Structures are given as C-alpha cells and as structure tokens.
C-alpha cells in the first residue's frame, strides 16, 4: 500500500490548531511534514493541558507523525536552513497574522518568484484581504462574528459556542482542500498557487440553512436547541430514562415513525408534510413524547432502528471512544511516545481510502527541535 501523499514534503510554520489540523491531515495521508517552530518555546500548544509525563496531550494528538526543527527566521544562519527547506518543499503552510511573512521576506510574492512550483497555504482569522485582515482572532471570535453562536443554544438563552473548536478545525479542513487542489494544478501546469483561507469565511460556509432562511424571510434564525429549523421531527426526545435523538427527514420516514410508535398522524393535515410538521413542531414533540416516555432509550433506539428510522443515543466522549462502530472504523488510534509505547488516544483519519495505510497507531509527536540532525542530513543528501 502507498499513501496518496507519499513523496510530498510539507513545510509547516503553523501553531495552535487551524494550521496544525490541516498538516495533520497531510501527515495521515502520507506526506512528510516538517514543523518549523520558534526556538525555546515551540508551538503554543506544547504548554496546553492536560499533560502526561510532562507532555501535552493536546499537542501530541494534533502533531503526531510530524518532524520538528527550531528556526529563528530573523537569524541569518537559520534563514539559510529555512530557504534550503523551502527549496525542497512542495507546500508551505503558515498561520501568522497577514504581513508577518512579508516582513520576514518570505511572503507569497517573494517565495513565488524564487520557488515558482511552491504551493503557499495561509490560514488566518480574517484572510489576507479586506479591512480587518490584520486583526487577531481565535476560534470563539469567529464563531461569534460568523453567526454560528447566534444559532447555537436554547431559545431565549444566551448564545454559546459550539463545544468543538469549529472555527479552527473547519478552516483547517478548507485549507487542506485548497492546498490539494493547488497541488493537482501545480502537477498539471507546473506553477504553484497561494491558498488564502479565513476562519471567518469558513464559519459562514457552514450556515447552509441559516443563510437560506435569512435570504427568503429577511429574518435571521434564532437558536432552536437540538431541533433542526427546517426539518421535523429532527431533534431530541425524552424516553423514560433520558434523551435520545430521532431524525425523520422526509415524509416516508415520518410515516414509518408513526407506525413504529402506533401514532395515527401521517395523514393528519397538521403533520402530513414537512412544512406542516415544522409549523406544528412543538405539538408533534409532545405527541411523540407521550409515547416515548413509556419506555427506555435502548428500547426505542432498537425499535426505530429495526424500522429503518435514523435514531441514536446522545453519547459522551468516553462512550464514543468505546462505540463499536467507531472502533470498527479505526477512528480511535494510539499515539505512541518516543519509546514506542501507547501514550494517548487520538481521533483516527476519517478519510478511508483503498490501498492507503490506516494503522491503529500513530508515530509520536516530535519534541521541540528533535529532528534537526535528520532534517539537515536530508538537505545535504538532496
């Protein structure tokens, strides 16, 4: 088996999450990722808890399988090493505030002139253009400004951020897509491109139903808790021992749900179509829960699953890590320490591809500057 990005070299100048998440994807797909870090400090997340044996689990699970070299890009000798690395790389990825790379002499224009085949990937809070390009941002800032927080949470309550850092993670995913497209184009035409991804832009790209609702009604949607604002029933329901979810996304599934629950509602004009069900969502929820409160979550999940209705439990992370479907898909992997022992759990690679290695373990995350000698030898051999 050969990983699809085997033979590609990624020069990773990123830190914290959006950029490292992108380059982690490349490492999982077989690329050689060389992480260029600040001497003495390294990536900020090396100091993020929780820790095990003095090492950050946060850093380890996002940077496994990469190599590290510490370079001061203001130091003349280190700049020589860096430029040798750029000359050998297929892709450079950075997430500095716009203008920082230009001040160092390594902005897109300068690098493209010197290394025309290099693909340059940049991720930042607001992108490299527009009036706010140079403003700083973190995940919560773009979730708030990008509209995601305005539709997250319970009606009538204060907005909340999504529990996962989707401001960073989605931007990292879009950056990976853009870089892969630029690599395809480079391999076809011989010229690299700059890929500019903004975390704020990426949040707007997530708001499929919210943008549609606003564009038609002129009114922005409010938080609706677990309920989907355009599909009913599509939310949480109470059983005798707690909550579970039902997602009956079309009329046929709603009919099956009514049969499974012995509820004669599928021909009722208040519920016969999805628009009608959305208009009467609160009443429908009460009618469904009058039935589901009579038995346990496990009972209803088993019964609805047997009837072909999308349903499932609300699991905490510990439960997810033990989920047999998750385990069967190799989505919980062990990140090793430098002695080859399993040290941390991490999410596996969700991109399953024929003839692509998908081992149950991942190579360790590097100690700061741990691969300097190896990297310098590789440069000399080239």
Is the overall model pTM greater than 0.95, yes or no?
no
Domain map (residue ranges) of the chain: 9-205+327-381, 234-314
pLDDT tens per residue across span 11-46: 999 999 999 999 999 999 999 999 999 999 999 999
Query: 341-348, long-range: CB within 8 Å, 24+ apart, which pairs?
Result: 343/52, 343/53, 343/55, 343/60, 344/52, 344/57, 344/60, 344/61, 345/61, 345/321, 346/60, 346/61, 346/64, 347/61
Q: Confirm if 237 and 243 have CB atoms less than 8 A apart.
A: yes
228 is catalytic: yes
Tell which CATH classification among 3.40.50.970, 3.40.640.10, 3.40.630.10, 3.40.50.10540 matches the domain 9-205+327-381. Answer: 3.40.50.10540
3-state percent breakdown (helix, strand, coil) of the chain, nearest 5: 40, 15, 45
pLDDT at 1: 76
| Number of continuous H segments (helices) and E segments (strands) in the chain | 16, 14
Can you tell me the distance from the alpha carbon of 212 to that of 221, in angstroms, rounded to the nearest whole number? 10
pLDDT tens per residue across span 235-292: 999 999 999 999 999 999 999 999 999 999 999 999 999 999 999 999 999 999 999 9
- The CATH code that applies to domain 234-314 is 3.30.1540.10
Find the catalytic residue in 15, 112, 209, 228: 228
Average pLDDT value for the chain: 96
Q: How far apart are the first and last CA of the chain?
A: 26
Whole-number percent of the chain with pLDDT over 90:
95
Q: Which residues contact 7 (CB under 8 A, 6 or more apart)?
A: 30
């Amino acid at each position: 088996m050969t990983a699809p990005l085997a033979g590609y070299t990624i020069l990773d100048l990123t830190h914290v999450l959006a950029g490292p998440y992108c380059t982690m994807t490349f490492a999982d797909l077989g690329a050689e990722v060389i992480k260029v870090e600040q001497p003495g400090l390294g990536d900020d997340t090396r100091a993020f808890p929780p820790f095990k044996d003095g090492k950050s689990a946060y850093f380890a699970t996002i940077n496994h399988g990469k190599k590290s070299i510490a370079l001061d890009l203001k130091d003349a000798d280190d700049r020589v090493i860096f430029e040798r690395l750029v000359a050998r790389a297929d892709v450079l990825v950075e997430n500095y505030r716009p203008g920082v790379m230009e001040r160092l002499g390594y902005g897109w224009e300068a690098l493209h002139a010197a290394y025309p085949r290099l693909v340059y990937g940049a991720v930042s809070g607001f992108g490299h253009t527009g009036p706010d390009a140079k403003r700083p941002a973190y995940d919560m800032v773009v979730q708030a400004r990008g509209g995601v927080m305005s539709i997250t949470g319970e009606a009538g309550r204060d907005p909340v951020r999504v529990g996962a850092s989707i401001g960073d993670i989605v931007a990292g995913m879009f950056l990976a897509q853009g870089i892969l497209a630029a690599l395809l184009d480079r391999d076809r035409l011989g010229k690299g491109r700059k890929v500019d991804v903004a975390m704020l832009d990426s949040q707007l790209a997530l708001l499929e139903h919210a943008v549609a609702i606003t564009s038609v009604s002129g009114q922005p949607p409010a938080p609706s808790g677990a309920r989907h604002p355009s599909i009913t029933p599509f939310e949480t329901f109470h059983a005798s021992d707690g909550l579970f979810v039902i997602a009956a996304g079309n009329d046929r599934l709603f009919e099956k749900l009514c049969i499974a629950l012995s509820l004669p509602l599928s021909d009722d004009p208040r519920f016969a179509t999805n628009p009608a069900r959305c208009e009467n969502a609160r009443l429908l929820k009460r009618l469904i829960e009058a039935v589901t409160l009579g038995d346990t979550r496990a009972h209803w999940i088993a019964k609805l699953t047997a009837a072909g209705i999308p349903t499932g439990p609300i699991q905490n992370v510990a439960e997810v890590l033990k989920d047999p479907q998750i385990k069967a898909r190799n989505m919980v992997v062990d990140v090793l320490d430098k002695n080859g022992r399993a040290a941390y759990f991490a999410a596996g690679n969700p991109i399953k591809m024929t003839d692509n290695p998908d081992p149950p373990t991942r190579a360790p995350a590097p100690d700061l500057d741990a691969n300097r000698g190896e990297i310098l030898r590789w440069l000399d051999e080239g």
